[in-house]
């Protein structure tokens, strides 16, 4: 195949655009924040489960406190009522019975208040645990939101860059002979190197130093002849920097 040296050199620019297109597509579909965002999603799920369990403990402690407060209030009401009846009692036996009941209620109230203090301590501890866990969850959520926003911005930037690269590639491709462009794309599509620049006897496509025999054969070729790198099979582009 023959192609103008200018067309062959243009392939290097197209190859560079193709490389950048792959990078922008990777940035668009696989943002660098993705792994951490997925990790945080798992952490958040675990933290939310722990928060639910701790909230259950807090709710139970609050329910216990509410019951004991009700018991204290009822016992206090009964003691106060008995105290009022005692103040107006005229029957010694009735007065003695009321005094005994008041003493019993006083002891019960004291025991209930001790229990109330213990439960209040449990409520405070459970509330602290819930607050600490909520703080961890908020921190995870904040980091996730920050990274998600950054990922969206990177995806948008990569999408825009990709659109520009596609436009630039199309403009360059339009200046290259269709047969040459198809040959380049065929070579590149097979997972190999589509085109390589020969600089100082080295193919920059595969970074291999060509042998003296290969260089001699390349020197003999016309400038418009499309050559292949003997090492990687890429279209070998020659310029004054090729060391020929």
Under 8 Å between Cβ of 82 and 31: no
Q: Is the pLDDT of residue 41 over 90?
A: yes
pLDDT band at 193 (very low <50, low <70, confident <90, very high): confident
Q: Which long-range contacts (CB under 8 A, 24 or more apart) does 219-227 make?
A: 219/244, 222/2, 223/5, 224/2, 224/3, 224/4, 224/5, 225/1, 225/2, 226/1, 226/2, 226/3, 226/8, 226/180, 226/183
- Residues 206-212: what's their mean pLDDT? 93
- Residues 3-28: what's their mean pLDDT? 95
Residue 242 is predicted with a pLDDT of: 84
By C-alpha distance, which of 123, 119, 112 is closest to 73? Answer: 112
CATH of domain 29-173: 1.10.287
- Residues 148-171: what's their mean pLDDT? 97
By C-alpha distance, which of 122, 113, 128 is closest to 60? Answer: 122
Q: Is the pLDDT of residue 226 over 90?
A: yes
Over the chain, what is the mean pLDDT? 95
Residue 152 is predicted with a pLDDT of: 97
Helix (H, G, I), strand (E, B) or coil at 176: coil
Domain range list for the chain: 5-26+177-242, 29-173
Q: Is the pLDDT of residue 46 over 90?
A: yes
Q: Is the pLDDT of residue 196 over 90?
A: yes
Question: What single-letter DSSP state applies at residue 30?
Answer: S
């Amino acid at each position: 195949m023959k192609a103008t040296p200018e067309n062959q050199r243009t392939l290097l620019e197209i190859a560079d655009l193709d490389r950048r297109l792959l990078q922008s597509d990777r940035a668009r579909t696989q943002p660098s924040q993705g792994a951490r965002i997925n990790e945080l999603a798992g952490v958040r799920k675990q933290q939310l489960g722990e928060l639910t369990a701790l909230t259950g403990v807090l709710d139970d402690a609050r329910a216990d406190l509410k019951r004991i407060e009700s018991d204290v209030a009822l016992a206090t009401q009964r003691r106060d009522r008995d105290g009022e009846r005692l103040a107006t009692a005229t029957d010694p036996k009735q007065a003695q019975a009321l005094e005994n009941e008041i003493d019993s209620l006083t002891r019960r109230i004291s025991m209930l208040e001790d229990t109330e203090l213990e439960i209040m301590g449990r409520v405070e501890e459970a509330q602290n645990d819930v607050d600490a866990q909520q703080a961890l969850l908020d921190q995870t959520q904040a980091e996730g939101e920050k990274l998600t926003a950054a990922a969206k911005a990177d995806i948008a930037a990569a999408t825009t860059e990709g659109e520009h690269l596609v436009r630039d590639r199309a403009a360059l491709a339009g200046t290259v002979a269709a047969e040459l462009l198809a040959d380049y794309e065929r070579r590149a599509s097979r997972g190999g190197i589509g085109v390589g620049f020969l600089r100082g006897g080295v193919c920059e496509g595969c970074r291999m130093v060509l042998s003296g025999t290969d260089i001699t054969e390349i020197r003999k070729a016309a400038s418009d002849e499309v050559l292949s790198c003997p090492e990687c099979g890429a279209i070998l582009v020659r310029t004054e920097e090729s060391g020929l």
